[in-house]
Chain A
Amino acid sequence: MPISSNDELGYKPLDGGWGWMVVVGAHIAIGFAYSMPKALSIFYYDIQEDLECSSSEIALMSSIMLAVMYAGGPVSSWLVLRFGSRPVVILGGLMCGVSMVTASFGSSIIYLYICVGIIGGCGLAFNLNASLNIISKYFLVRRPLANGLAMAGSPVFLCILAPINQYLLDSYGWRGSLLVLGAIMLNCCVAGALMRPVAQAPSSPPEQKVEEQPNNTNSNLKESCLKNISFFDVSFFKDRGFTIYLFGSIMFIFGAYAPFLFLSAYAISQGIDEHSAAYLLSFMGFVDMVVRPGTGLAANSKWIRPRIQYFFSFAVAYSGLCHLLCPLIHSYSFLLVYTFCFAMSFGMVFALIFECLMDLMGPLRFPSAVGMVTIIECFPMLLGPPIAGLLVDITGDYKYLFILCGSVIFTGGVFLLVMNIYNDHMLKKEKNAKDREQNQTNMEDQDHKDIKRTPKAMMEQTEFEVTEDNGTQGELEIAETPN
């Protein structure tokens, strides 16, 4: 249920105009963030031969990059809260560029771990986190669509970078390729330049509203802002919705990447030739590219937006179901259908994963929340694929991988669904109790107060309550609302 950002932010989000350019910037930054660790795998073989290391050692480089990208969330959140998104994304772009350029001179795998893994990962963390944050500042009504479009950057850039990387490798070898990639990643700075900081007090009605409301509201907002500038705000765990979301997404992330990584190996083990197996992955990318904005558009509709948490839990459960059904039939056409469904569910979940968090936490708490969520999600992301791989090694059969991942994800989806129903029920009860209280105090205030308060603000509040009743969830964070 969208929270009244007007009251929280102190201004009306643009929901368009320059916001779309910001979405383009976020698209680029998020695209690089998610696709670069995967796209680097094209260089593995050459780096392995040159630096004489094993394949697991070289794969660790991408894992370190992904892990640091997620673990750097809290630091990134802190920087965004202090300096805004633009400087953070520009810094992230510079760090990525520098990391790739220095990596091109590397002569040992440890050197690559540090350059690409740690410095590169940090840069990507800044990109990802700051992009998500600025979307929450620019959009409210069209936010699901904006999120879907921005997250679509991941498959788009993967599809672009894979052939580019291959071409660079053939022309310049892996060292030259990393050098040129460093330059390409500097385009994140362009993305950062697009992320114009939002004017906190624009010269229009909102300014008047801020004046009209009692001054202590402003200082309340500032105080909560400062409180949120902490790396780890444990008070989030008291929020029921947040905890439910966190568990659900942990279970999803645990099972999400393993089928992705082992898909072509599974296809080859089923007797499919290498070209068709590689084609499966590109097919996945194309479906993902279309599904993410499509999901954003669907989530924006008036039927789904109020029930967006349920939509998310449906998408997670659907994903789990896909994996469970995969090992049943062994034919190429069925594998294509599975890949299509997998890509669709993957895209749906990722288009919604951050939108749901924004929906739950609101634009003020979102920066710290997303930092916390990403650093916690680091662990299932790192543990999932190796455990699945271990299962494959022990049993010698890929179907157990799909059963494991499918069951974990499906359980997560069902958990989300059930707990969201429970949460809504509890929130309704609490809201009813609080409404009764507030009505009493309001009636008392009405007698004392002048008409200093703008009727406009009152109408906004009642307007919002009307739309709330149209939706089914009532998650008004009463603590933050002024009045």
Chain B
Amino acid sequence: MLASWKQLIFQILLLLISCRHINTTSPDPTPPPLVPIDSLPRDVRRAAFKGEGQIEKVEVLNPVNLELVCTWTGHQDKESNITGFWRKDGLEIENSHLTVQLENEQYQLQRVFNIVSEENLGNYSCVFESEVKIDFVVAVPQIGEIRDKPIVTYVGDSGMITCKMEDSKPMPNTWKWYKANGTDKEEIFAAAERQRYEIKNNERKTKLLVNNLTMADSGLYYCGAVYTLSTSMGHVELKVITYFEPLKPFIAIVIEVIILVTAILLFERSRSKKNDTEGDMMSDQTNTLSPGENNGLEESSSMRQRKT
């Protein structure tokens, strides 16, 4: 406990000293703390080789001494000695070649990595005999629950973008928001532009409220979950449209309805006019027919046909 407090004070001092060098146009790289490496907590991850393309995810939040252990049961004809080495991000780590002995029917490679800064995060692989490989993706917790479809909002309205870190993952220290400006990201400071932006931070959730939207506000917005080692990013697209956009199909459909209703009613009126003129002729005919058996026979025969 005491060690972690000392660590924290050291880090804060370092942060204050290196404040001048912080770049505002890109996410702050956490300066490497000059802490004795031995006092870092130790974490061990083991993985046994199961098959091709095996990837193990390792989540780290704070600086840690990460020990990665790979085990492999070997081929049918197990040799007593094989070579093994480590890679980081596809590049071989210098001086990591080792000769591995067969112990308890398996080969074991292990190495301790000092994860103290953002550069230390990445893809670590242990390789046996240049053929058997296990990947460890060492990263801060990634934002999983994020919207993949664009949020559609209207000019003059206010839009809200939410980012959430799942309950199963550790909470970030804080949240930051960025707006994409070409290929760069610009951080959004709600304090500076209180009229336009409002950031509500919960521990697991963050909400960016953009007021008084304009067309220029469309684009990609990035939310960053800040951990000690690094910031994990998620992005959401905001689309701003004018009220005329949905109004166009609305008016088109209303016009279509009016046309159809009028057409149907007009058709009906013309038919009834025809029937009226015909009816006058018909009524003369029916009056001549005797109201009796002829009609009755017709009626019943038609019913018989209908029923069968």
Q: Report A-chain residues with C-beta under 8 Å of the C-beta of B149.
A: 170
A141 close to B (CB within 8 Å):
yes
The reply on B279 being an interface residue by CB < 8 A is yes
Q: Are B152 and A173 in contact (CB under 8 A)?
A: yes
Chain B residues positioned under 8 Å from A49 (CB to CB): 160, 162
Whether the pair B152, A171 counts as a contact (CB closer than 8 A) is: yes
Tell me, yes or no, whether B261 is within 8 Å of chain A by CB.
yes
Any A CB within 8 A of the CB of B182? no
Q: How far is the CA of A141 from the CA of B250 in the complex (A)?
A: 41
Q: Is the CB of B245 within 8 A of A187?
A: no
Q: How many residues of A contact B (CB 8 A)?
A: 38
Q: Is A173 a contact of B154 with CB atoms below 8 Å?
A: yes
Which of B151, B286, B296 is within 8 Å of A456, CB to CB? Answer: B296
B193 within 8 A of A: no
Partner of A189, one of B249, B257, B291, B303: B257
Encoded as 1 (CB less than 8 Å from any B CB) or 0, chain A from 161 to 189 comes to 00000000111110111011011101101
B291 adjacent to A454 (CB under 8 Å): yes
Question: Quick one: given A170-B149, A186-B253, are A454 and B307 in contact (CB under 8 Å)?
Answer: no
Q: Name the residue of chain A whose CB is nearest to the CB of B158.
A: A50
**One of A196, A212, A463 near B303 (C-beta < 8 A):** A463
**A176-B306 contact in complex given A190-B261, A455-B292, A459-B296, C-beta closer than 8 Å:** no
Contact partner of A460 (CB less than 8 A), chosen from B251, B253, B303, is B303
B260 / chain A contacts, CB cutoff of 8 Å: 187, 190, 193
User: Once the chains bind, are A187 and B300 in contact (CB under 8 Å)?
Assistant: no
The CA-CA distance from A93 to B149 in the complex, in Å, is 32
Q: How far is it, in angstroms, between the C-alpha of A445 and the C-alpha of B131 when the chains are bound?
A: 108
Chain A: minimal CB distance from B304 (Å): 7
* Beta-carbon contact of A177 and B264 below 8 Å: no
Docked complex Cα distance between A180 and B154 (Å): 15
Query: Which single member of B245, B257, B304 contacts A172 (CB below 8 Å)?
Result: B245
- Min C-beta distance of B56 to chain A, whole Å: 24
Q: Is B253 in contact with A193, judged by CB distance below 8 angstroms?
A: no
- State whether B261 touches A459 (Cβ < 8 A): no
| B261 close to A173 (CB less than 8 A) | no
B293 is an interface residue with CB less than 8 A from chain A = yes
Question: Would you call B283 an interface residue if the criterion is a C-beta within 8 Å of the partner chain's C-beta atoms?
Answer: yes
Which of these, A179, A204, A460, contacts B246 with CB under 8 Å?
A: A179
Q: Which residues of B contact A212 (CB under 8 A)?
A: 291
B153 at the A/B interface (Cβ < 8 Å)? Answer: yes
The distance in angstroms between the C-alpha atoms of A466 and B268, with both chains bound, is 39
- Please name all residues of chain B whose beta carbon is closer than 8 Å to the beta carbon of A180 when the two chains form the complex: 246, 249-250, 253
Pick the contact of B268: A179, A186, A196, A459 (CB < 8 A). A196
Closest CB of chain A to B103's CB: distance in Å? 39
- A15 near B291 with CB under 8 A, answer no
User: By the criterion CB–CB under 8 Å, are B296 and A208 in contact?
Assistant: no
A173 to B247, CA, bound (A): 13
Chain B contacts for A405, CB-based, 8 A = none
In the complex, B38 has a CB within 8 A of chain A? no
Chain A positions 463 through 483: 1 when the CB is less than 8 Å from some CB of chain B, otherwise 0: 100010000000000000000
Residue A302, interface by CB 8 Å: yes
Chain B stretch 144-193: residues in CB contact (< 8 A) with chain A? 149-154, 160, 162
Query: A183 touches which one: B249, B265, B268 (CB < 8 A)?
Result: B249
Bound-state Cα–Cα, A456 to B295, Å: 7
A432 to B286, CA, bound (A): 39
Set B160, B264, B283, B303: member contacting A194, Cβ < 8 A: B264
Question: Are A460 and B264 in contact, with the CB atoms below 8 A?
Answer: no
List which B225-255 residues lie within 8 A (CB) of chain A. 241, 245-247, 249-254
Residue of B nearest to A208 (CB): B291
The 8 Å CB contact of A193, one of B247, B261, B304, B308, is B261
The verdict on B93 contacting chain A, using a C-beta distance below 8 Å, is: no
A333 contacts the other chain (CB 8 A): no
Contact residues in A for B296 (Cβ distance below 8 Å): 454-457, 459-460
Classify the interface of chain B: helix, strand, loop or mixed.
helix
Q: Scoring B residues 115 to 139 as 1 if CB is less than 8 Å from chain A, else 0, what string do you get?
A: 0000000000000000000000000
Question: What is the CA–CA distance of A468 and B154 in the complex, to the nearest angstrom?
Answer: 66
**Is B282 located at the chain interface by the 8 A CB criterion?**
yes
Known: A189-B257, A190-B264, A194-B264. Contact between A205 and B249, CB under 8 A?
no
Chain A residues, Cβ within 8 Å of B52: none
On chain B, the residues within 8 Å of A204 by CB distance are: 282, 286
- Among residues of A, the one whose C-beta sits closest to the C-beta of B279 is A203
The answer to whether A456 and B160 have CB atoms under 8 Å apart is no
Query: Which B residues lie within 8 Å of A177 (CB)?
Result: 246
- Docked complex Cα distance between A171 and B295 (Å): 63
Residue of B nearest to A21 (CB): B264
Q: Which residues of A contact B303 (CB under 8 A)?
A: 460, 463
A172 to B279, CA, bound (A): 53
> In the complex, A180 Cα to B252 Cα: how many Å?
10
Chain A CB within 8 A of B79 CB? no
In the complex formed, the residue of A with least CB distance to B239 is A173
Question: Are the CB atoms of A172 and B254 closer together than 8 Å?
Answer: no
B105 contacts partner chain A, Cβ-Cβ < 8 Å: no
8 Å CB contact of B295 from A50, A175, A187, A205: A205
Cβ contacts under 8 Å, B307 to chain A: 141, 302, 467
A141 proximity list for chain B (CB < 8 A): 306-307
Residues of chain A lying within 8 A (CB to CB) of residue B308:
302
Report if B94 contacts A (CB, 8 A): no
Q: Which of A182, A186, A193, A459 contacts B300 (CB 8 A)?
A: A459
- B306 proximity list for chain A (CB < 8 A): 15, 141
- Asked if B152 and A455 sit within 8 Å, CB to CB, the answer is no
Cα A64 to Cα B92 with chains together (Å): 64
Q: Judge whether A183 and B153 touch: CB under 8 Å.
A: no
Contact in complex: B257, A183 (CB < 8 Å)? yes
Interface flag for B77 (CB, 8 Å): no
A179 to B293 CA separation, bound complex (whole angstroms):
61
Q: Are A172 and B246 in contact, CB atoms less than 8 angstroms apart?
A: yes
Contact with A along B274-308 (1 / 0, CB 8 A): 00000100110010000111011101100110111
CA distance A288 to B249 in the complex (A): 30
Known contacts: A454-B292, A454-B296, A455-B293. The answer to whether A182 contacts B261 by CB under 8 A is no
* Most A Cβ at <10 Å: residue of B260, B292, B299: B299
When the two chains form their complex, are residues A203 and B282 in contact, meaning their CB atoms are under 8 A apart?
A: yes
Q: Which residue of chain B has the shortest Cβ distance to A456 in the bound complex?
A: B296
Give the complex CA separation of A302 and B283 in angstroms. Answer: 36
- What's the Cα separation between A176 and B300 when bound, in Å? 58
Q: Are A460 and B283 in contact (CB under 8 A)?
A: no
Chain A residues with CB below 8 A from B251, complex form: 183
Q: What's the minimum C-beta distance from A26 to chain B, rounded to whole angstroms?
A: 15
List B contacts of A455 (CB < 8 A).
Answer: 292-293, 296
Residue of B nearest to A93 (CB): B257
Additional A-B contacts beyond A184-B253, A459-B297 (8; CB < 8 A): A170-B149, A173-B152, A177-B246, A183-B254, A193-B264, A203-B283, A205-B299, A456-B297
Q: Which 7 A/B pairs are nearest by Cβ-Cβ distance?
A: A456-B296, A176-B246, A173-B152, A183-B253, A193-B264, A172-B246, A193-B261
What would be 14 A-B contacts, judged by CB atoms less than 8 Å apart? A49-B162, A141-B307, A169-B152, A172-B152, A179-B246, A179-B250, A204-B286, A205-B295, A302-B307, A456-B295, A456-B299, A457-B296, A460-B299, A463-B300
